[in-house]
C-alpha cells in the first residue's frame, strides 16, 4: 500500500454565498483572525504528513498563489531587529509544503475540478480537501482518513451526522457500522430529495481517493445543479468496486460559504488564539452585558 503524501484542494468557486466580500477576493482568502481560510487547509494537510499539495484555482485568484510564495520586498522590511517573529511566520508560509497550482478553466463541479488533478496524483492515493470547509481540531481530519485507509485499504469519506432537515443540502451515505467511528459505505446520493436519504451521515469536506476514481469521472454525467458531482463518481465506486469507508471525524466544522459560520469561525478561533485569546474573551464578556 502506497503512503498518502498528496492532497488536492479545489478552490476555484466564485464564493457567491458570501458576497460582496468575495466580489474581488477568493473566499479562500477570507481571514480567520490573522490567517486566510485556505492556510488552515494547507496546515491541516501538512500536520497529517502530506508533502505535496495541488491547489485548483479559477480566474483572478492569483492572490492565493502570492500568499504561498516568497515576498522579497516584505521580507527585506522584516529583516530588522524586533521583527524576527513576523519574518519567521512569513517564511514559514512559503515553506509549508511543495505547493503547486493549476487553473480550472470552467467551474463545472467538484468532480470536474478533481479530474484536473490526474497528472499531479498519478497512481498515488490522495486526499481531497474541499475549499469551503475549515475543520479545526487537535487530530487533523486528513490524518484520521489516512489511518482508516491504512487499516481497510479502501477510499475514505470524512462524515458527520447532520440534522435530517439539512441532508438535502449535502449528500447521504448508506452506512453499516464496522467499529468505533468507522462505517462501511456501499452507496450514496448527492443532495437527495425527501425520501431518497440513506442516512443523515453526510460528507463534510474531506475524502481520500485512489486513482481508480479517474476512470469513473471520465464518464460521469452532470448531476445535481447541472454539475459533475464527485459524489456521483464515489457512489459508483462504492456500488461497483467493493465499497468505501466512512470516518465520523472529530473536529469543529466551519462552512466558509456560509456567512454565519464564517463569523462563528472568527469568534471561536480568536478565543483560542495565543496572542489575543484572553483579551478577546474579556471583551466578549463585557460586550454580552450590553445585550
pLDDT, tens only, 241-285: 999 999 999 999 999 989 999 999 999 999 999 999 999 999 999
Q: How far is CA 196 from CA 13, 66, 175, 191, 200, in A?
A: 27, 44, 14, 9, 11
56 and 99 belong to one structural domain: yes
Same domain (yes/no): 9, 90: yes
Q: Report percent pLDDT > 90 for the chain.
A: 75
Is the bond preceding 212 in cis, omega lying within 30 degrees of 0? Answer: no
Inter-residue contact 98 to 120 (CB < 8 Å): no
pLDDT of 291 above 90: no
- The answer to whether residue 143 scores a pLDDT higher than 90 is yes
The whole-model pTM stands at 0.93
Query: pLDDT value at position 247?
Result: 98
The side-by-side arrangement of strands in the sheet containing 156-161 is 98-103, 52-57, 6-10, 126-129, 201-209, 156-161, 244-248, 182-190, 171-179
| 261 in Cβ contact with 254 (< 8 Å) | yes
Claim to verify: residue 232 and residue 279 sit in the same structural domain: no
Sign of torsion, CA 262 267 269 274? positive
- Mean pLDDT (whole number) for 176-200: 94
* CATH number of the domain enclosing 16: 3.90.550.10
pLDDT for residue 90: 87
What's the structural domain count of the chain? 2
Q: Do 262 and 202 share a domain, yes or no?
A: no
List of residues 6+ apart from 262 with CB closer than 8 A:
18, 30, 32, 254, 256
**247 in the same domain as 268:** no
What size, in residues, is the chain? 291
Which residues make beta-bridge pairs with 53? 7, 99
- Are 93 and 134 within one domain? yes
**DSSP letters spanning 59-101:** TT-HHHHHHTS--HHHHHHHSSTT-HHHHHHHHHHHTSSEEEE
Q: Average pLDDT of 91-119?
A: 91
Neighbour tally for 100: CB within 10 Å: 13
Distances (CA, A) of 160 to 110, 202, 214: 19, 6, 25
Q: Are residues 276 and 177 in the same domain?
A: no
On the question of pLDDT at 178 being above 90, the answer is yes
Residues 110 and 162 in one domain: yes
Is there a single domain that holds both residue 268 and residue 246? no
- Could you tell me if 276 and 175 lie in one domain? no
Same domain, yes or no: 194 and 267:
no
Whether the pLDDT of residue 58 is over 90: the answer is no
Provide the domain limits for residue 276.
257-290
Candidate from 56-70, 127-141, 168-182 with smallest mean pLDDT: 56-70
Asked if residue 149 and residue 268 are part of one domain, the reply reads no
- Residue 15 predicted with pLDDT over 80: no
Is the confidence at residue 222, as pLDDT, over 80? yes
What band does 91 get if pLDDT is binned at 50, 70 and 90? confident
Q: Residue 20: helix, strand or coil by DSSP?
A: coil
pLDDT at 17: 86
Amino acid at each position: 500500500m502506497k503512503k498518502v503524501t498528496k492532497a488536492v484542494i479545489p478552490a476555484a468557486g466564485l464564493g457567491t454565498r458570501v458576497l460582496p466580500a468575495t466580489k474581488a477576493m477568493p473566499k479562500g482568502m477570507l481571514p480567520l483572525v490573522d490567517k486566510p481560510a485556505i492556510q488552515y487547509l494547507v496546515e491541516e494537510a501538512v500536520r497529517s504528513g502530506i508533502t505535496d499539495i495541488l491547489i485548483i484555482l479559477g480566474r483572478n485568484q492569483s492572490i492565493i498563489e502570492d500568499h504561498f510564495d516568497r515576498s522579497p520586498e516584505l521580507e527585506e522590511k522584516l529583516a530588522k531587529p524586533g521583527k524576527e517573529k513576523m519574518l519567521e511566520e512569513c517564511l514559514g508560509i512559503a515553506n509549508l509544503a511543495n505547493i503547486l497550482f493549476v487553473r480550472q478553466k470552467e467551474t463545472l463541479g467538484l468532480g470536474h475540478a478533481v479530474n484536473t488533478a490526474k497528472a499531479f496524483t498519478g497512481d498515488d492515493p490522495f486526499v481531497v480537501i474541499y475549499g469551503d470547509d475549515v475543520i479545526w481540531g487537535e487530530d487533523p481530519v486528513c490524518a484520521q482518513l489516512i489511518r482508516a485507509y491504512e487499516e481497510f485499504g479502501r477510499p475514505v469519506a470524512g462524515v458527520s451526522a447532520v440534522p435530517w432537515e439539512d441532508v438535502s443540502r449535502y449528500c447521504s451515505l448508506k452506512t453499516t457500522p464496522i467499529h468505533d467511528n468507522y462505517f462501511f459505505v456501499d452507496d450514496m446520493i448527492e443532495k437527495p430529495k425527501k425520501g431518497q436519504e440513506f442516512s443523515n451521515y453526510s460528507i463534510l469536506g474531506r475524502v481520500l481517493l485512489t486513482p481508480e476514481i479517474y476512470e469513473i469521472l471520465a464518464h460521469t454525467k452532470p448531476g445535481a445543479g447541472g454539475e459533475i458531482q464527485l459524489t456521483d463518481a464515489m457512489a459508483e465506486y462504492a456500488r461497483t468496486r467493493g465499497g468505501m469507508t466512512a470516518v465520523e471525524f472529530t473536529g469543529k466544522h466551519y462552512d466558509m460559504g456560509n456567512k454565519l459560520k464564517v463569523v462563528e469561525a472568527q469568534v471561536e478561533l480568536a478565543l483560542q488564539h495565543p496572542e489575543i485569546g484572553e483579551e478577546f474573551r474579556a471583551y466578549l464578556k463585557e460586550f454580552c452585558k450590553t445585550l
